Amino acid sequence: MKDFKFNLYKKIGLMALAAFCVLMSTSAAQAQLFSQDFSSSTVVSDYVSATPTNGQFNAIGSSGTGTVVSINGGTLQFARTGANAGSFSRTTDFSPTPSAIIYQIDITVSGNTTATTSAAIFQVGSGFGTANSTESNANTYARFGINLSATSGCFSIRDITNSTTSAEFCNTQTITWVLNNTGASLSYNAPNGTVQTVANDTADLYVGTTLVLNDVAVQTVDQVITDLKFVFSAGTGTIQLDNIQINSLAPTAASATIGGRIVNSNGRGIRNVRIMLTGSSLSEPIYATSTSFGYYRFPEVPVGETYILQVFSKNYNFNPSSRVVNLNSNLTDADFVGEMRLFDTVIQK
């Protein structure tokens, strides 16, 4: 009977854990605003429309023959020989207007031999036009520049608003630009696998997994995020853009992992010990079972809450058998030590 109850509790615990994980992954979902990898056509005009889809622009072009725009190798390519400007514009507003976004894009530069500050500029804001020129500061919520290096294939990030420049990066790099106009600080899952926070009306920017701009002030705080602009108007070289992904970022609770090890007095792991986690943010308890080496883990637990861990075993006594956890970051040493229970043996004559 006891084994039946234990197995029943175990099944219920696993079901609760699965439901919790689904809930957490759903709450952290992001709505896609724009997505384009330039693989569907080799014709630039196929990516342009007066009524664009979430993978099209209102305009892609150049102001003259000094800058040639093409689709090359599944990328949007701007080749500048020293004159004119090339650009893309998205002037059809995102709807509904996002209050925060994660803007990702792959960038490759080549053929550059002269250092040029802010050779190309990315902007987000509202009221943009389709001209091959940058938008006014008044219409721009945030912006950053691409500095071309004197070393071919290398570039750096220019925080134009705050006049700072990152280290140089070479080869194809994924830029991740996080913008927050929600009115409060916002947590998000960063490219380096950590949970980070961006303050209101500031931006974070990563090159690959390297954070190069951290909580930098945006250009115009009373602007909104509905339009896009890219302009390559200075220096010589080629810039290729690919895998553009823009997602709205809804406020969600940051999460962390609670884990540890169940061991005996000799430090050896104890398997099949049931651990229960309860807390104010959990609608019901969730459970884990220690592995053959005694390890257990509760992933994606909301931070900023107080939880209680309790251990249960038929064969071991634990003192203490519970502990209070104030979770603010990953906790990996919530260990418990058990002593083997002594059972009385009755011998019948």
pLDDT at 36: 96
Question: Can you tell me the mean pLDDT for 291-298?
Answer: 95
Please tell me what DSSP assigns to residue 139: G
Question: Can you tell me the mean pLDDT for 157-165?
Answer: 98
Dist CA 109 CA 118 (whole Å): 13
In DSSP terms, 32 is beta-bridged to 247
In the predicted structure, residue 236 carries a pLDDT above the cut 60: yes
Provide φ and ψ at 132, rounded to 5°: -85, 55
Please state whether beta strands 255-264 and 336-340 pair in parallel, antiparallel, or not at all (unpaired): parallel
Range name among 22-36, 54-68, 279-293 with the lowest pLDDT average: 22-36
Say what percent of the chain tops pLDDT 70.
Answer: 88
DSSP secondary structure letters along 152-212: TTEEEEEETTTTEE---EESSEEEEEEEE-SSS-EEEE-TTSSEEEE-TTEEEEEETTEEE
Confirm if 204 and 215 have CB atoms less than 8 A apart: yes
pLDDT at 8: 38
Residues 6+ apart with CB under 8 A from 270: 262, 263, 264, 290, 294, 313, 316, 338
pLDDT digits (tens, 9 = 90+) for 163-196: 999 999 999 999 999 999 999 888 888 999 888 9
In the predicted structure, residue 62 carries a pLDDT above the cut 60: yes
Class in CATH terms, 2-26+253-340: mainly beta
pLDDT at 256: 87
Dist CA 260 CA 199 (whole Å): 32
Q: Where are the domains of the chain?
A: 2-26+253-340, 30-248
CATH assignment, 30-248: 2.60.120
pLDDT at 240: 98
Give Cα separations from 191 to 104, 174, 215, 233 (angstroms): 10, 10, 16, 29
- pTM of this prediction? 0.68
Please give the residue that has the higher pLDDT: either 304 or 344. 304
Question: Can you tell me the mean pLDDT for 107-132?
Answer: 98
| Residues listed for the chain | 349
Question: Can you tell me the mean pLDDT for 56-61?
Answer: 98
- The secondary element (H helix, E strand) that includes residue 274 is strand 274-279
Nearest C-alpha neighbor of 262 from the set 326, 329, 340: 340
